[in-house]
């Protein structure tokens, strides 16, 4: 996948490029807002990673210009401005995700993967399926190998989020944002308990576990190891 990084700090940029290249992506880099905007409009990218405070044009303006030009490339904003109100501002400007600095690289790659695969998945579908686990989005029911699984509403939303990102690493922060709409991290890893409860319900008694813990990053739902 082709990714454009617009970031004025060279050290951050080279760290980003190295990490993303290791993940198998082709990475272009612009250290200036104006050049970055030009590159984003003139070439095709699968994802833009944009810093907020940039020389030339700032990150939010880049997002606004691209969106008003009808360019729908997924955009991830990286910024030292990490408060709730800043994030909301970034997302309403048209960005798809917002990651405050400093961030763990695992968090970044998880979000990049989520954005890159989001494209083709239509949100109007009525059911989700991973291996023999099926989720009926209309009836709000879950079955594994034809056996009904009893889920509480929040557990259903948690599972739905994991299934929509099947095969990808999903971080705790992503779950807090996506499932609980909490744009802050509680001090205790409160998510772990929810995951282990969900695991009890969907994996217990089945030969192959679907919900895996990714050390130092988060969780992933996939059919095989």
Q: Using CB under 8 A as the criterion, which residues of the chain lie in contact with other proteins when the complex forms?
A: 82-85, 88, 102, 104, 154, 180, 182-188, 190, 193-194, 197
DSSP string across 23-50: TT-EEEEESSHHHHHHHHHHS--SEEEE
**CB of 36 or CB of 100, closer to other proteins:** 100
In sequence order, the 6+-apart residues with CB closer than 8 A to the CB of 213 are 195, 219
CA nearest 14: which of 1, 27, 25? 27
Least separation in angstroms between residue 50's CB and other proteins is 22
Least separation in angstroms between residue 185's CB and other proteins is 8
Three-class secondary structure of residue 134 per DSSP: strand
Structure tokens at 54: 């940039």
Other CB atoms within a 10 A radius of the CB of residue 188 amount to: 8
Least separation in angstroms between residue 105's CB and other proteins is 11
What CA–CA distance (Å, rounded) separates 60 from 90? Answer: 7
What CA–CA distance (Å, rounded) separates 183 from 162? Answer: 18
**CB of 7 or CB of 107, closer to other proteins:** 107
Least separation in angstroms between residue 182's CB and other proteins is 6
**CB of 25 or CB of 111, closer to other proteins:** 111
CA nearest 111: which of 193, 4, 217, 185? 217
Least separation in angstroms between residue 116's CB and other proteins is 26
**CB of 51 or CB of 86, closer to other proteins:** 86
DSSP bridge pairs for 143: 134, 148
Least separation in angstroms between residue 189's CB and other proteins is 9
**CB of 189 or CB of 208, closer to other proteins:** 189
Q: What's the CA angle centered on 22, arms 15 and 62, to 5 degrees?
A: 55
**CB of 53 or CB of 190, closer to other proteins:** 190
């Amino acid at each position: 996948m082709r990714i454009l990084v617009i970031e004025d700090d060279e050290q951050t940029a080279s760290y980003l490029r190295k990490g993303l290249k290791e993940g198998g992506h082709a990475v272009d880099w612009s250290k200036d807002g104006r050049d970055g905007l030009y590159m984003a409009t003139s070439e095709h990218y699968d994802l833009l990673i944009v810093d907020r405070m940039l020389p030339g044009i700032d990150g939010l303006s880049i997002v606004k210009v691209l969106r008003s030009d009808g360019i729908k490339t997924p955009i991830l904003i990286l910024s030292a401005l990490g408060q709730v109100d800043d994030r909301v501002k970034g997302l309403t400007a048209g960005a798809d995700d917002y990651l405050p600095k400093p961030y763990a690289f695992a968090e970044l790659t998880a979000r990049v993967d989520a954005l890159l695969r989001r494209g083709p998945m239509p949100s109007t579908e009525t059911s989700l399926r991973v291996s023999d686990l099926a989720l009926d989005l209309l009836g709000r029911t879950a079955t594994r190998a034809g056996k009904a699984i009893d889920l509480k509403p929040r557990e259903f939303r948690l599972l739905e989020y994991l299934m929509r990102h099947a095969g990808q690493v999903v971080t705790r922060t992503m779950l807090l944002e996506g499932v609980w709409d909490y744009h802050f991290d509680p001090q205790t890893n409160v998510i772990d308990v929810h995951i282990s409860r969900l695991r009890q319900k969907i994996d217990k008694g089945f030969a192959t576990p679907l919900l895996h813990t990714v050390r130092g990053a988060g969780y992933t739902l996939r059919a095989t190891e």
